[in-house]
Amino acid sequence: MAAAGAYLILNQVQVTTSFWRFGAYGGFGLTLLPLLVGVAFLFYDGKSIVGWLLTAIGTAIILAGILMNMDIYFRQTTLFQTLMMLGLLFGGLGLVARSLR
């Protein structure tokens, strides 16, 4: 029940993206710089702490940029469909919680 409810709810969500912005400037290439420098350090020396740190920071910046530029909308549905989806989701979660108890 929980899986079916979650599927139906997620099926009604529409995700769009807007123009990539980094601060007040539009610069996706600037966000790639720490990642590329970190990868270069790691190719030179695989145990480089600076390389691993720059790679992790660059990856985090890119993931944060992707999440910040997403617009998430719930598509128009009827009240019955919404109540059915939420009933399935929370009823299933209640059964899962009861089985774990």
Nearest of 3, 9, 2, 20 to residue 85 by alpha carbon: 9
Per-residue pLDDT tens digits for 48-68: 999 999 999 999 988 888 888
Residue 73 located in a structural domain? no
> What's the pLDDT at 16?
85
Q: Are residues 30 and 48 in the same domain?
A: yes
Q: What is the pLDDT of residue 2?
A: 95
pLDDT reported for residue 100:
94
Amino acid 15: pLDDT: 87
In a domain, 74, yes or no: no
Q: Which residues contact 39 (CB under 8 A, 6 or more apart)?
A: 51, 55
Tell me the whole-structure pTM to 2 decimals. 0.59
Please check whether residues 5 and 34 belong to one and the same domain. Answer: no
Residue 36 structural domain: 21-68
Q: How much is the pLDDT for 26?
A: 63
Low-confidence ranges of the chain (pLDDT < 70): 20-27
